A and B are shown apart, each in its own frame.
Chain A
Amino acid sequence: MMFAGIYYSTQRLVKARLASDFLSALHFWGWQAIIVAAAITLPLGFSRSKEYAELIWPINIAVAFIWVVFAVNFFWTLARRREPSLYVAIWFYIATIVTVAMLYIVNHLSIPTSLLHSYPVFGGVQDALVQWWYGHNAVAFFLTTPILGIMYYFLPKAAERPVYSYRLSVIHFWSLVFIYIWAGPHHLLNTSLPDWLQTLGMTFSLMLWAPSWGGMLNGLLTLRGAWHKLRTDPVLKFFAAAVTFYGMATFEGPLLSIKSVNGLAHYTDWIIGHVHAGALGWNGFMAAGMIYWLLPKLWNKPLYSQSLANLHFWTGLVGILLYVAAMWVSGITQGLMLNATTEGGTVLAYPNFLDTLNAIRPMMLMRVIGGGLYLVGWLVLAYNLWRTIRGAQTVNGSIEVYAEKPAAADTRLGFAGSVFNAPVLLSVFLTGFATLWMLGENLVSVAGLVGALLTVVAGYALLYSRGKVWQGWYERLLLNALPFTVLTFVAVAAGGLIQIVPTVMVQKAANMEDRVQVPYTPLELAGRDLYVREGCYTCHSQMIRTMVPDVLRYGDYSRLGESIYDYPFQWGSRRAGPDLARVGGKYPDVWHLRHMEDPRSISVGSNMPSYPWLSERNLDVASLPAKINVQRTLGVPYGPLTPQQIFDQVNEQAKGIAKNLRDAGAYVAPEKEIIALIAYLQKLGQFEPVTPAAAN
C-alpha cells in the first residue's frame, strides 16, 4: 500500500513519470519474494529473535538491496522532476527512505556462523538499545511518515479542499522526524537500561505528542468544509477514521511512556492493543481509503459497489474497536494482577502466574471476534475490487503537464547555502547545547544550559526580525532535493548518535553494574540457540525490572552485567509466561523435561505449547565451533577451544544432565535437544559479583 501510494502520488506531485519501469518491477517482485522467503523461514525457526528484525541474514541483504532499488527509483524520479518545488508529501517520503535505510542496516549488522544463522554484533544492553532505536522508529518511519505523506496527497484530493496549514506542515514535519528518533528507550523503561537513557526516552516521547498531533490536525482540519461528504463517500470515511486512530494512538504512546504507567502496561496486552490501534486503524484504514479512491481512476470505471465499501468501513471499525478494547481490558487486568500485593504489601496477591492468564481468556475471545470482523472487511474489499476491475482495462495513458521553467541558477542552494543560515545553525546549536546540559558534568552542564537559553532567545529575536527571510530560504530549500535530503538525514541521525554512541563506546565494565554473567558453556549456548529458534522470547522475558512486584515474583532485579554476553539480548517485550531471568536452579532438571513435553502435566491450566520434538531430535553439535568462534570475535571470553574440546565439553555436560534425569526416573539420551535447552535454562541467572575496581 505504501509503495503504491508513494509511486502514484510522487509521479503526479513532481510531474514526472517513474524513472525506471525495470526498477519498479524489480522492487515489486523482489518485495514479494522477500515476503515468501519470510513466510517459509520464520515458521521453520530461522530467526534472529529481534522484533521486526527476525529475518535471517541472507534475507536481510535482500531487503536492503530492494530498499536501495526503491530509493534509486524514487530519487532518480525526483531528479527528473518538472515541478521544481517539493510538496510536503515528498518530504515525508524522503524521510522514510533515508531513515529506514539507516535503521535497518545498523540493527541488522551481524556476523554469520552459517548460511542460515548469525549473531548480531551488539550484545546485552547495547543490543537492547539498538533494537529499540530501530524497533520504535520502524513504526515511525515505515508505518507513520510514509502514511502521513500519503495522507497529504490523497486526503485533500478526495476531500477537494486545501490543506489546512502549510506552516503546520513545516513545523510538525521537522519536529516529528527529529524527536521520534530519541524516544526508542521508552520500550525499556524500569529495566536495567541506564537511567539517563530511560529519562531521555520518556521525556522525548512526551515531546512527541504535539508533533504527532500536528499531522492529525492538518488531516482533520483539511476536512473542514467537507464533513458533509463523509455521509456519502466511503473514501473520506476511511480517511477521517484513520486520522482519528492516528491521533488516539499518538496520545496513547506518550501516555504509555510515562514510567509509572509503563510499570503497569509493559509486558501486557495493552501495548499490543496500542500498536493495533495504529496498524489496523491508521495504516489499514488509510490503505483501504486509498484503494477505494484509486480503483476507479486506475481502471477508469466506477467502483462496483459503494454499499459494500460502506459495509467494509463499519465492520472494520467495529472490529478494531472490539479488538483494541479487549486488549486494553486484558492488558490492564493482567498488569494490575501481576503488580498487586497483599498482607501490607509484603507478598504477591496472585503468586500463581497462571491466575493472571486465565483471567484474560474471555478477552482473547473478544480479540478473535474483533480481528475476524476486521478481516471480513478486507475480504469485502477484495470482492469489490475484483468486481470493479473484472473485464476492465487499466488506464495506460500519459498526462500533459505544464512544466515550469527549470530552476534558475539563483534558486540553487549549495552546501553553504543549505547549512550556513540561521534556522539550521540555531537548531544545531540548540541540540548541541541541550546535549551538553543533559550529559555534561558541572561546568559543562551549566555552559550547555546557558548556551541553550541564549540560542532560544536569539532564535526568538531573529524569528521576529528576519522571519520573512527564513520563509524565503525554506521555499528555496524546497527547490533543492539533495540539500533537503541531507538536512533530513542529519535531523534523524542526531538522536541515535547521542544515545547509542556513548553506550557502544563505553567500556564494557561500566555497563556491568555489580555483576557479570558466567559465560555459557558450549552446550548451554546450543540450548540458547534452541530457545531463540523455538521463539520462547515471544512469551518469556528475561528482565526483572526495578519494581517491587517483579522482585517479589522473580527475584533480585536484573543487572546490566547479567546479559552482557547475550548475543542477541533476550530481555523480551511480552509476558504471556513468567520471566525467566532467574529460573536457573529453581526447579530440578526433570521438572523442565516434563514441562517441555506437556506443560499441563506440571502447571494445570497452562497455555504454553508442548515441545515434544525437543526430546526426539538430536542436537546440532557440528555447528558449535563456528558459533563459538563468532562469539569469541564478539568479545565473549571463550578460551582457545578446538572443535574436539567443544564436543567433549558438550558430551560431558549432557551426560550429567541425562544422569540427573535418569535418577529421577526419566530416560533421555544425552544427544537430544532437550538436554541442551535444560542446560541453558538451568544456567539463567548465574553471575559472579564484580567490584568496580576489578572491572576496570
Chain B
Amino acid sequence: MTNAPKTPPPEDPIREHTYDGIQEYDKRLPNWWLFTLYATIVFWIGYWFYYETSGIGPRDTAVLAAELERIEAAKLAAAADLLDDGTLWQMSRNSVFVQAGRATFNSTCASCHKESLRGAEDGGIGASLVDGTWVHGGRPTEIFAVVDKGVLEKGMPAWGPIIGAKKTAEVVAYILSHHEEAK
C-alpha cells in the first residue's frame, strides 16, 4: 500500500484540452477488454448462423415437441400395467400409500373437497367423498378416472397430467381408505 500519490509514468501523455480542470489521458484500450468485445461479436455471428441463417439449430418449438413426445411415451409405458379395482383396494389398505395420498390430497384436493373429505357438506366447492354417493361411479377405477381425467363441466380439473400417475393412485387409495370394499 502506497501513501504517496503516484506520478503518472512519462509515456502517458495527457490531452492538451481540459474541461473545468478535468484532464484526460488517452491510454490504449486494455487487450482483454478488446478481446471480450471481439469474442462477443464472433459469438453473435456464429450463433446467428447456427440458428437463423443455416437452420442447423433446432427451433424452440421443435425441441419442445420432441420432449413432450418423449414424456407421453414414458407415461403410456407406465400405464401399460393398468390398475384394476383389486389393486386400488389393496393400496387403500397400505399405510405408506394412504399417508402419501393424504399429503397430496390435503395440498391439492382439500381446497374444494376439504380435509374432512366432506366437500360441500363442510362448506367446500367439491362433492363430498364420504357420503356414499358417487355421481360419476363408485368403483375404484371409476374414481381413478375422475381424478385423472377430471369432470370439466362440473369444475373438477384433470389432475393426472399435473400430479402424475403415482400420486393419482395414492390419492385414490386415500379416498378409498374411508370406505369399505363391498363383498
B-contacting residues of A (Cβ < 8 Å)?
9, 12-13, 15, 83, 85, 87-88, 153, 156-157, 162-169, 171, 175, 190, 195-196, 199, 202-204, 206-207, 209-211, 213-214, 217, 224-226, 228, 254, 342-348, 351-352, 354-355, 437-438, 445, 546-548, 551-553, 557, 585-588, 590-591, 594, 602-604, 664-665
Residues of A within 8 A of B161 (CB): 347, 552
Report chain B residues within 8 Å CB of A204. 44
A204 CA / B45 CA spacing, docked (Å):
11
| Stretch with Cβ within 8 A of A (4 or more), from B21-29, B88-96, B131-139, B173-181 | B21-29
- Tell me how far the C-beta of B133 lies from the nearest C-beta in chain A, rounded to whole angstroms: 18
Beyond A162-B25, A344-B74, 5 additional pairs, beta carbon < 8 A: A153-B22, A169-B24, A190-B60, A346-B164, A557-B64
Interface residues of B in 20-58 (CB under 8 A from A): 20-30, 33-34, 36-37, 40-41, 43-44, 47-48, 51-53
Complex A-B: 27 CB contacts under 8 Å: A13-B19, A87-B20, A88-B24, A156-B22, A163-B23, A165-B25, A171-B29, A203-B47, A207-B40, A210-B36, A210-B40, A224-B6, A225-B6, A342-B164, A343-B74, A346-B78, A347-B161, A347-B164, A437-B53, A438-B52, A546-B63, A548-B64, A552-B161, A557-B61, A587-B155, A587-B157, A604-B111
Q: Separation in Å of the A47 CB from the closest CB of chain B?
A: 30
Q: Does B81 contact A (CB under 8 A)?
A: no
The answer to whether A585 and B19 have CB atoms under 8 Å apart is no
Of all chain B residues, which has the CB nearest A664?
B125
Chain A residues with Cβ under 8 A from B163's Cβ?
A: 347, 351
A10 to B29, alpha carbons, bound, how many Å? 27
In angstroms, Cα B49 to Cα A199, docked, is: 11
A355 neighbours in B (Cβ, 8 Å): 107
Evaluate contact between B44 and A351: CB separation under 8 angstroms.
Answer: no
In the bound complex, what is the Cα–Cα distance between A181 and B101 (angstroms)?
53
B contact residues around A348 at 8 Å (CB): 162
A499: min CB distance to chain B, Å? 14
> By the criterion CB–CB under 8 Å, are A228 and B3 in contact?
yes
User: How far apart sit A167 and B13, CA to CA, in the bound complex (Å)?
Assistant: 13
B83: interface (CB < 8 Å): no
Task: Name the interface residues of B139-156: CB closer than 8 Å to any CB of A.
Answer: 152, 154-155
Q: Is the CB of A195 within 8 A of B52?
A: yes
B residues adjacent to A (C-beta < 8 A): 1-3, 5-6, 8, 14-15, 17, 19-30, 33-34, 36-37, 40-41, 43-44, 47-48, 51-53, 59-61, 63-64, 67-68, 70-71, 74-75, 78, 107-108, 110-112, 120, 125, 152, 154-155, 157, 161-164, 166-167
Kindly state the separation between the CA atoms of A156 and B18 in the bound complex, as whole angstroms.
12
A604–B103 Cα gap in the complex (Å)? 13
- Say whether, besides A203-B48, A586-B157, A157 and B60 are in contact (CB < 8 Å): no
Partner of A228, one of B1, B22, B41, B154: B1
Pick the 5 closest A-B CB pairs, nearest first: A588-B155, A347-B164, A210-B37, A162-B23, A203-B44
Q: Is the CB of B36 within 8 A of A87?
A: no
Chain B residues with Cβ under 8 A from A225's Cβ? 5-6, 8
Contacts of B37 in A (CB 8 A): 175, 207, 210-211
CA distance A15 to B19 in the complex (A): 9
CB pair A346 B8 closer than 8 Å: no
B44 touches A207 (CB 8 A): yes
- Contact residue among A206, A553, A587, A604 (Cβ-Cβ distance under 8 Å from B40): A206
The smallest beta-carbon distance between A50 and chain B, in angstroms, is: 25
Cβ distance A472 to chain B, nearest Cβ, rounded Å: 14
**Are B166's CB and A343's CB within 8 A?**
yes
Are the CB atoms of A591 and B23 closer together than 8 Å?
no
Q: Are A213 and B64 in contact (CB under 8 A)?
A: no
- Residue in chain A with minimal CB distance to B14: A162
> Is B26 a contact of A165 with CB atoms below 8 Å?
yes
A182 to B: closest C-beta gap in Å? 10
Residue of B8, B19, B25 touching A87 (CB-CB under 8 A): B19
Kindly list chain B residues whose C-beta atoms are within 8 Å of the C-beta of A214: 33
Residue of B61, B63, B111 with most partner-chain A CB within 10 A:
B111
Out of B19, B71, B120, B152, which one reaches A83, CB within 8 Å? B19
Name A163's contact: one of B25, B29, B40 (CB within 8 Å). Answer: B25
Whether B125 lies near A228 (C-beta < 8 A) is: no
Name, among B19, B23, B34, B53, the residue most crowded by chain A CB atoms within 10 Å (CB to CB).
B19
A591 is contacted by which of B14, B33, B36, B155 (Cβ under 8 Å)?
B155
Cβ contacts under 8 Å, A354 to chain B: 107
A225-B8, A602-B111 given as contacts; is B33 within 8 A of A213 (CB)? yes
What residues on A are CB-neighbors of B167 within 8 Å?
347
Shortest beta-carbon distance from B65 to chain A in Å = 9
Complex CA–CA separation, A460 to B163 (angstroms):
60
Q: How far is the CA of A548 from the CA of B63 in the complex (A)?
A: 9
Q: CB distance B29 to A165 under 8 Å?
A: yes
Q: By the criterion CB–CB under 8 Å, are A206 and B24 in contact?
A: no
Among residues of B, the one whose C-beta sits closest to the C-beta of A348 is B162
Chain B residues lying within 8 Å of A548, measured Cβ to Cβ, are 64, 67-68, 71
Task: Select from chain A the residue with minimum beta-carbon distance to B6.
Answer: A225
Which A residues lie within 8 Å of B47 (CB)? 199, 202-203
Bound together, the chains give a CA A591 to CA B156 distance in angstroms of: 11
Q: How many whole Å from B37's CB to the nearest CB in chain A?
A: 4
CB-CB nearest in chain B for A440: B53
Among A157, A164, A588, A664, point to the contact of B27 (Cβ < 8 A). Answer: A164
Is there contact, CB below 8 Å, between A195 and B125?
no
Q: How far is the CB of B63 from chain A (nearest CB, A)?
A: 8
Chain A, Cβ-Cβ closest to B43: A206
A438-B5 CB under 8 A given contacts A346-B164, A352-B108, A604-B110: no
- In the assembled complex, which residues on chain A have CB atoms less than 8 Å from the CB atom of B51? 195, 199
A585 contacts B152, CB within 8 Å? yes
Enumerate chain B residues within 8 angstroms of A345, measured Cβ to Cβ: 70-71, 74
Query: In the bound complex, what is the Cα–Cα distance between A280 and B131 (angstroms)?
Result: 59
